[in-house]
Amino acid sequence: MLNRKNFLKRAGLLSGAVITSPLWPFFTQQSIANTIIDLHAHPGLFFRKDMDMYPGDQALNQRLADIKNTGVKVVFMSLVADSPLLVRTPTGIEVKGSFAKGDGWTEFQKQLKFFNDLIITQGFSVINSYRAIDTTTTKILLTCEGGDFLDGDVNNIEKAYNSGLRSIQLVHYAQNNLGDLQTQPAVYNGLSNFGKSVTKRMNELGMVIDVAHASFKTVADVAEITTAPIILSHSILKAEADRPIAIRAITPDHAKLVAQTGGVIGAWPSGFSFNIEDFANNTMRLIDLVGVEHVGLGTDMDANFKPVITSYSEIKTWAELLESKGLSKTEVNKILGGNAQRVLKQVLD
């Protein structure tokens, strides 16, 4: 939480430049929205239409309208590589089974087809380069949660890139052959040799490396190898050990690894926070640790656990809370999307 000393220090910056934009009609002219980028989302759980987790076309269409109507600039829409292996339970996600050779790539192709059909139907366009980002329309950056679809073949990265993929979250819930997870016992003591090859190839192609769900040692290995900033698309700093899904929160040293690459951590409005104000306080703890330049937003919409932000329109409240806790409008703009935009400019071709 922001202490009084830091609040007074930041309050002296409030006379900085005010950036306005027509993108969010519910913000005033003295407001804080010029670039809104969501580093991680599953709108309507769109990633697999034949899954039990898919809520139906109505929910999907409502979410996509929510994105458009609130003027979000870029959404990282994430396929889920290991989705056929995941089962939702009252206590969280459980992993059932594993992929046979080739199954991961086949699943990726199924989800990619649905994604492409969705984009055509809804009139969104996909970011293939930094130049594709503009201020007039919402753009989609295609990503995949988990590198399971690579099937142990580094050449599949380029195939996926040519299909439009611009970011890979290396690991998710099912143990794959890239590296260790936060939520499973260590297998590789960090990145595997294949994971190291994937990291290097993603750097070469100009793809955003996402280390969400990865263990501390895996992130440390990525940070040592990468030649570009990385993201940790959706997490939050640890607090009380008995908070919900505390296993997915990160330590201060974990967060610092991402910041040291010049990267960004997407503040995660999950049920780890008690409400949206508690989420703002947890965001401030992250800012005070790594600096305002290294914090963004990763909503995990619509696959989050008991989310405290359930609509993109509620980001307005979060932004106003951050400003009330001592951030300048310019600083809040960085968190809403400016920091993510900087990383995209550095990484994408």
**How do residues 16-28 score in pLDDT, each as one tens digit?**
332 233 333 333 3
Q: How many CB atoms lie within 10 A of CB 151?
A: 19
CB distance 169 to 146 below 8 Å = yes
Tokens of 259: 């910041």
- Per-residue pLDDT, 55: 76
Which amino acid is located at 7 in the chain?
F
Note the pTM of the prediction, 2 decimals: 0.90
> For the chain, how are helix, strand and coil distributed in percent, rounded to 5?
40, 15, 45
- Per-residue pLDDT, 16: 32
CB distance 280 to 318 below 8 Å = yes
- C-alpha distances (whole Å) from 124 to each of 36, 67, 77, 137 are 16, 11, 11, 8
- Per-residue pLDDT, 51: 65
| Residues spanned by the domain of 111 | 4-11+18-347
Q: What is the pLDDT along the chain (349 residues), one digit of tens a residue?
A: 444 334 444 443 333 332 233 333 333 333 334 689 999 999 988 877 776 667 778 888 899 999 988 889 999 999 999 999 998 877 778 899 999 999 999 999 999 999 998 888 888 899 999 998 876 788 999 999 999 999 999 999 999 999 999 999 999 999 999 999 999 999 999 999 999 999 999 999 999 999 999 999 999 999 999 999 999 999 999 999 999 999 999 999 999 999 999 999 999 999 999 999 999 999 999 999 999 999 999 999 999 999 999 999 999 999 999 999 999 999 999 999 999 999 999 999 7
DSSP per-residue string spanning 240-309 = -TTSTTGGG-B-HHHHHHHHHTT-EEEE--STTSSSHHHHHHHHHHHHHHH-GGGEEE---BTT-SS-S-
Q: Total structural domains in the chain?
A: 1
CB distance 285 to 267 below 8 Å = no
**Residue 328's Cα: distance from chain center in Å?**
24
Rounded Cα–Cα distance for residues 86 and 287 (Å):
33
The H or E element that residue 82 is part of is: none
- Per-residue pLDDT, 8: 40
Q: What is the CATH number of the domain that holds 69?
A: 3.20.20.140
Say if residue 66 is preceded by a cis peptide, omega within 30 of 0.
no
Tokens of 164: 């439009």
- Per-residue pLDDT, 290: 98
First to last CA, the chain: 38
| Exposure string for 313-323, b = 16+ CB within 10 A, e = fewer | ebbbebbebbb
Rounded Cα–Cα distance for residues 317 and 280 (Å):
9
